[in-house]
């Protein structure tokens, strides 16, 4: 079984103007094109009024994967449509030959309802909303935090978080195409009693490591919602073959009033290392450099 070891952790540096400079920044989705790193990141207004906290997504570029120059305006923002009038959260990017697909969560604060949305565009800075990718319905309420991965057997898989039985759960759906339509299979990964991930689970990024294994860095929490990052490996069919006993990343000790959370958002294979992008306390983005040991 693999061992994923944290070699180094660095806080990300974002060069940005107002209003982004004054916002919380979390869930950094980073990908690489040729010699440039690109990113969509969730930004939230730090207002005590929930109606003023509407999330949006900003675009940025970097040469080293840690220092990003951000665009002046959001590429995804709340609209007049009911499904995302109060927020566009947690973007996930799929780069195809002729366009980008971006999954995000649309939020309606009045209904307390989230829907998993799909936007697309030939330019990552010019996106248009296409459709609701997964509707909120029993037993998969408030689907969010999408990870879209083509397994080694060729099937497209959508991993997503949903709400059920007062818990966050990790579900999975399949499709012949990265834009869907998606057929929900059910719960993918289950909580473990007497463990750091005993109550809540949420999806994280999935990649092939240098040993040709598919690994997802998922997010797990106890009943007190103390979130940490672990990993789960899969074979070419998506069957689980290994899972971390302990988290590989925990947040720093929280202060009164802060949330106790580390949440994985994206990952890049960089030679013999994995760059894992995540955020802590719902406002600080980081990059962890991981090495892999095989037993």
Q: What is the pLDDT of residue 1?
A: 67
Sort 18 into a burial class: Cβ within 10 Å, 0-12 / 13-18 / 19+: exposed
Closest CA to 277 of 62, 16, 44: 62
pLDDT (tens digit, 9 = 90+) per residue, 203-234? 999 998 877 789 999 999 999 999 999 999 99
Helix-then-strand count for the chain, H and E: 0, 22
- For the record, the structure tokens of 286 come out as 């980081």
Contact between residue 136 and residue 142 where contact means Cβ atoms under 8 Å apart: yes
Which domains does the chain carry? 2-294 (2.115.10.20)
For residues 136, 137, 139 and 144, what is the CA-based torsion angle, rounded to 10 degrees? Answer: -10
Q: What is the pLDDT of residue 151?
A: 87
Q: What is the pLDDT of residue 88?
A: 96
Q: What is the pLDDT of residue 133?
A: 97
Q: What is the pLDDT of residue 226?
A: 94
- DSSP readout, 104-155? EEEEETTTTEEEEEEEEEEETTEEEEEEEEE--BTTBEEEEEEEEEE-TTS-
pLDDT (tens digit, 9 = 90+) per residue, 156-183? 999 999 999 999 999 999 999 999 999 9
d(CA 289, CA 223) in angstroms, rounded, equals 29
Strands 126-134 and 113-123: antiparallel
Residue 88 φ then ψ, to 5°: -125, 110
Contacts of residue 165, defined as CB under 8 A and 6 or more positions apart, other chains included, come to none
Q: What is the pLDDT of residue 256?
A: 66
Residue 72 sits at the vertex; the CA angle it makes with 68 and 75, to the nearest 5 degrees, is 90
- For the record, the structure tokens of 100 come out as 């980008």
- For the record, the structure tokens of 227 come out as 């979130």
Q: What is the pLDDT of residue 174?
A: 96
DSSP class of 45: -
Phi-psi region for residue 8, left (φ > 0), alpha (ψ -120 to 50) or beta? beta
d(CA 213, CA 111) in angstroms, rounded, equals 40
How do the pLDDT tens digits run along the chain, 295 residues long? 678 999 999 999 999 999 999 999 999 999 999 999 999 999 998 877 766 789 999 999 999 999 999 999 999 999 989 999 999 999 999 999 999 999 999 999 999 999 999 999 999 999 999 999 999 999 999 999 999 999 888 889 999 999 999 999 999 999 999 999 999 999 999 999 999 999 999 999 999 887 778 999 999 999 999 999 999 999 988 999 999 999 999 988 766 666 789 999 999 999 889 999 999 988 899 999 999 887 6
How distant is the alpha carbon of residue 67 from its chain centre? 20
d(CA 103, CA 31) in angstroms, rounded, equals 14
């Amino acid at each position: 079984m693999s061992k994923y070891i944290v070699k180094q952790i660095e806080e990300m540096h974002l060069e940005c103007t107002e209003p982004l400079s004054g916002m919380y920044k979390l869930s950094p989705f980073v990908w690489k094109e040729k010699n440039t790193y690109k990113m969509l990141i969730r930004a939230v207004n730090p207002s005590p009024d929930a109606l003023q906290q509407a999330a949006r997504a900003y675009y940025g570029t970097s040469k080293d994967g840690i220092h990003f120059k951000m665009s002046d305006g959001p590429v995804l923002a709340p609209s007049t449509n009911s499904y995302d009038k109060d927020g566009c959260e947690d973007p996930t990017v799929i780069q195809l030959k002729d366009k980008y697909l971006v999954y995000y969560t649309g939020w309606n604060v009045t209904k307390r309802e989230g829907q998993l949305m799909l936007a697309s565009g030939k330019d990552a800075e010019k996106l248009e909303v296409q459709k609701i990718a997964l509707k909120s319905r029993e037993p998969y309420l408030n689907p969010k935090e999408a990870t879209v991965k083509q397994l080694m057997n060729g099937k497209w898989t959508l991993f997503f978080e949903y709400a059920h039985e007062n818990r966050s759960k990790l579900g999975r759906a399949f499709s012949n195409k990265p834009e869907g339509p998606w057929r929900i299979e059910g719960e993918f990964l289950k909580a473990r009693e007497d463990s750091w991930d005993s109550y809540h689970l949420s999806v994280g990024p999935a990649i092939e490591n240098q040993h040709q294994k598919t690994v997802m860095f998922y997010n797990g929490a106890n009943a007190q919602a103390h979130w940490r990052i672990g990993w789960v490996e899969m074979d070419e069919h998506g069957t689980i073959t290994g899972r971390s006993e302990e988290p590989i990343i925990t947040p720093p000790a929280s202060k009164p009033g802060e949330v106790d959370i580390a949440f994985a958002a994206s990952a890049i294979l960089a030679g013999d290392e994995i760059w894992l992008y995540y955020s802590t306390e719902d406002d600080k983005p980081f990059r962890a450099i991981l090495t892999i040991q095989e037993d």
